[in-house]
Homo-oligomer: A and B are copies of this chain.
Amino acid sequence: MYGAGDVRVQDRPDPKIRQPTDAIVRVVLSCVCGSDLWPFKSMPATDTGRPMGHEFLGVIEETGSGVTRLKAGDLVVTPFAYCDNTCDFCRRGLQSSCRHGGRYGLDGVDGGQGEAVRVPHADGTLVKLPVGEDSPLLPSLLTLSDVLGTGHHGAVTAGVEPGDSVLVIGDGAVGLSAVIAAKRLGAEQIILMGRHTDRTDLGRDFGATDVVAERGEEGVARARELTGGDGADRVIEAVGTRQTLDTAFGAVIDGGTISRLGVPQFTDGPMGFEMIMRNITLTGGASPTRAYIEELMPDVLNGTIDPGRVFDRTVGLDQVPDAYRAMADRRALKVLIRP
């Protein structure tokens, strides 16, 4: 990406092992993330550009001398950020703050929207998939890379428990994944707030019991009406604007929890008297997705959940710029890339 709206498909040097802990992965399946759309809308123009993509699965082509858990030929999935999975933060399940972690597309690391990637800290980062390259489960397994783990992080940090009412704000792939996660954790009522009928219909398939198309104050009123007047026990905010944050505060019950998953497009939010008097907890954040892969994978493999349904289009590398445009224009929910 060279700037807002400027995505180019170009040849880059083949990745090579640089550190003993590296692995080279040939990308089998990748995709475009909702968070890729923020720079697509606002990134200042640059001469050098920046490799994009942080969700992929693929086959290991080569491993550094320090890699012991994986070998060439393994089909693996990556969480959207790499990590050593051994430091104190990783051990407590906060791989997003790994002491040796980092992000794809930065610091000389390739992006996942390409043919091959050098993965740092491969032993810690990559998880072997027990299926073949031709498995029809690959799209669902790819969601372990980001959206499913992110939705799960929202449900976990929101404290979803059996019987809870949960409001999910946002009908993008993360919001829809949060519906899956909330249902998986036993939520009794799952209200999905979104106005794209095709997406909210998918949300109903995933477990949403109610859909609210209204936004702002009307959305708050409708969500409160659906929860007996008091608001939802848990709110998962999967958009990231100040308006959706205000909606979350308006629609959460006193003593309830708001978990945020959307990258916030603002700096300050309402932290004053009302939040204190109502004992509202604000939590969530960048998902330590590596922490959740082993827990979620069995449900994907046995078909209990089918998160790959968030992909509604597939492109080759040449069409990646079109994929960005389609997602930015809301013509596509989430686009799969087969290099």
Contacts and interface: CB of A to CB of B under 8 A. Distances in A.
Given A266-B272, A268-B270, A276-B260, A282 B284 contact: no
Given A89-B255, A269-B268, A271-B267, A279 B97 contact: yes
Given A89-B255, A254-B89, A97 B271 contact: no
A39 to B, nearest CB: 13
A277 B286 contact: yes
A283 interface: yes
Contact of A276 (B89, B94, B284): B284
A283 B278 CA distance: 10
B94 A254 contact: yes
A268 B275 contact: no
A69 B92 CA distance: 47
B245 A277 contact: no
Nearest to A264: B272
A89 B260 CA distance: 24
Interface residues on A, range: 20 to 34
Given A282-B281, A284-B279, A263 B273 contact: yes
Contact of A271 (B96, B255, B266, B273): B266
A77 to B, nearest CB: 22
Contacts of A255: 89, 92, 94, 97
A296 to B, nearest CB: 18
A157 interface: yes
A285 interface: yes
Contacts of A276: 260, 263-264, 284-286
A4 interface: no
A301 interface: no
30 contacts: A89-B255, A94-B255, A94-B279, A96-B277, A96-B279, A97-B254, A97-B255, A97-B278, A97-B279, A263-B273, A263-B276, A264-B272, A264-B273, A264-B275, A264-B276, A266-B271, A266-B272, A268-B269, A268-B271, A269-B269, A269-B271, A269-B272, A271-B282, A276-B284, A277-B285, A279-B285, A281-B281, A281-B282, A281-B283, A282-B283
Q: Which 7 A-B pairs have the closest CB atoms?
A: A269-B271, A279-B285, A97-B254, A267-B272, A281-B283, A268-B268, A94-B255
Interface of A: 89, 92, 94, 96-97, 157, 245, 254-255, 260, 263-264, 266-273, 275-286, 288
Given A279-B286, A283-B283, 11 more contacts: A96-B254, A96-B279, A97-B254, A97-B278, A157-B279, A245-B271, A263-B273, A275-B285, A276-B285, A277-B285, A281-B283
